[in-house]
Amino acid sequence: MYGMLSLAARVRNVDPIHTPRAHFPGAAKVCGSRARFLMGVREAYNQWAPTYDSDRNLTRDLDELVTRSILADMQCASILELGCGTGKNTAFLAQLGAHVHALDFSDAMLAQAQAKLPHAHVTFTIADLMGPWPCADQSADLIVCNLVLEHIADLHFIFAEAFRCLETGGHMFVCELHPFKQYLGIQAMFQRDQARIAIPAYVHHISSFLDAAAHAGFVLAELKEWWHADDREAPPRLVSFLFEK
Ligand X SMILES: C[S@@+](CC[C@H](N)C(=O)[O-])C[C@H]1O[C@@H](n2cnc3c(N)ncnc32)[C@H](O)[C@@H]1O
Site string for ligand X, 80-99 (x = CB under 6 A): ---xxx--xx----------
Minimal CB distance residue for ligand X = 85
Question: Closest CB to ligand X among 140 and 147?
Answer: 147
Residue 233 CA: distances (Å) to CA of 32, 183, 237: 21, 16, 11
Which of 117, 168, 116, 176 shows the shortest CA–CA distance to 145? 176
Q: How far is the CB of 220 from ligand X (least distance, A)?
A: 21
Q: Give the residue with the Cβ less far from ligand X, 63 or 141.
A: 63
Q: What is the dihedral of CA 144, 147, 153, 156, to 10 degrees?
A: 20
Q: Site map for ligand X, 59-78, x if CB under 6 A? A: -x--x---------------
Nearest alpha carbon to residue 176 among 112, 82, 97, 106:
82
Beta carbon of residue 90, minimum distance to ligand X (angstroms, whole number): 8
Q: Does 114 bind ligand X (CB under 6 A)?
A: no
- Residue 80: name the closest of 150, 147, 173 by CA: 173
Output phi, psi for 77, to 5 deg.
Answer: -85, -40
Which residues of this protein are in contact with ligand X, per CB under 6 A? 41, 45, 60, 63, 83-85, 88-89, 104-106, 109, 128-130, 146-148, 151-152, 188
